[in-house]
Amino acid sequence: MPTPVGQIPATSESILRSSDGSNEDEHRIAVSEGYTREEHAHMLATKWLSAGQLNQLARSQGALTILSCLVYKKGKFSVIEEQQLGSAIEQYRLSKSLSEDQMYEVIFPKDEKGKDTAFWSEITAAVPQRPIIAVYHHVRRSRHPVKQQGKWTPAEDLILRQAVANHGQSWEKVCLEVGRRGMDCRDRYRNHIQNRELRVNGQWSKEEEEELTKIVTDLTLKQGRDADNDVFWGVVSQRMCGKRSRQQCRIKWTDCLNPSTKNAGQKPRWGNQDSYILVHKLDSLQIFDDSEIDWKTIPDPQWNLWSPHILQRRWLTMKRGVKGHEFMTHQAEIMEILKAKKVNAPVTGGTRKRVGRKVTSANAIAETETQSDMPVAGPSTSSKK
DNA sequence: CTGTAAGGTAAGGGTAATGTCTTGCT
DNA sequence: CAGCAAGACATTACCCTTACCTTACA
């Protein structure tokens, strides 16, 4: 019943240590502090806390010693949360006996008149760990009347260009002319229309890769920041003179260049041990649905070669390997995969699949260290400090 | 009158889904 | 060696958070 929040996956280390994979809960950090939970939920649902305020509350011990740190949830809304919100909204509608149209007015008030200030607080209560502002944005986005989505046609692009020329970056006005949501227009514009003449597509050249690496390290490590997280991709794209978009730069770095850099310039290979770690980590989360996974939290200091993005894709690939996974629950999928031989054997004893061709990240380390039968700790000994 | 909180809009930051070409098994 | 699944890599739609305002009102 309680939505699992702030779940912390088991560390790669603890997974590898316990050979049978059924390691104990040392890692299962309790969210608990039960008696302040209510107060937190109430605060999240009633106060429109800004980003800074939320951060501070989560960090500090709370001014009134009774309060432990505030715990609140970020990231994509899971399907469960979406359901909870949906029924909360429906409940609200029925309790006020409103029509669908009137309900719409509550979410998108035309004037100050019909405003019901209690509405947002009420539905936020249905997702206890979410700040009201997050619910506000999510609901307004997901119930937006303009439904046009999917691929952009050249004609639309043209209208968009025209509209931006007329109105500048006033996306709400642009929205009316293009017939797409304002923010979607913004996305299309900044990611594909702006600097289109300069844009380069296709394979990255060696020089480009070096250029990007240099820019990113200059912008992060050289300034004492973290190259895994603190990168400003808009700036990076600019420094690449607009040749590559922020999305291109980001993906190239996190999925390709960054792992190589960490692995002493060598492209790491995904190995059985990596699969093993991943599945057990996901298992340790004890969740019901994939959408509850916060991929950012899956890597750990001992096992950080792979970007959250890559891990997510790996998981999908593994799932697809399971017959009938579409009809399984999350737990069943996990168990199914756990049963599979290759995942259960962290040290690739008799696997015939691609052994020793290019180095597998995990195996590479396994060989350099002792020849014990025990699984060895994380692949990324060469990670930065 | 005025300081503060609600709430609307844009900028900033990130992920998920999909396409295409290559690699490597059986 | 064909046929096919998986991998590598690229593209783009889509989503969430934070910043910055305007406005209402205690």
Indicate if CB(A137) is under 7 A from strand C: yes
User: In the beta sheet, which residues pair with residue A303?
Assistant: A300
DSSP for A224-273, written as a single string? T--TTT---HHHHHHHTTTSS-HHHHHHIIIIIIHHHHHTTTSPP---HH
Indicate if CB(A208) is under 7 A from strand C: no
* pLDDT over 70 percentage in chain A: 69
* pLDDT over 90 percentage in chain A: 19
Residues in chain A: 385
Indicate if CB(A6) is under 7 A from strand B: no
Residues of A from 306 to 325 whose C-beta is within 7 A of strand C: which are they? 317, 320-321
Residues of A from 166 to 185 whose C-beta is within 7 A of strand C: which are they? 183-184
Residue A291: strand, helix, or coil: helix
pLDDT tens string A91-146: 999 998 889 888 988 899 877 655 677 899 999 999 988 999 999 999 999 999 89
**To which residue do tokens 């594909």 refer?**
A192
- Which pLDDT belongs to residue A305? 77
pLDDT tens string A272-301: 777 778 877 887 777 777 777 777 778 777
Q: Tell me, in Å, how far CA of A244 is from C1' of C12?
A: 14
A187 φψ region: left (φ > 0), alpha (ψ -120 to 50), beta (else): alpha
- Which pLDDT belongs to residue A82? 92
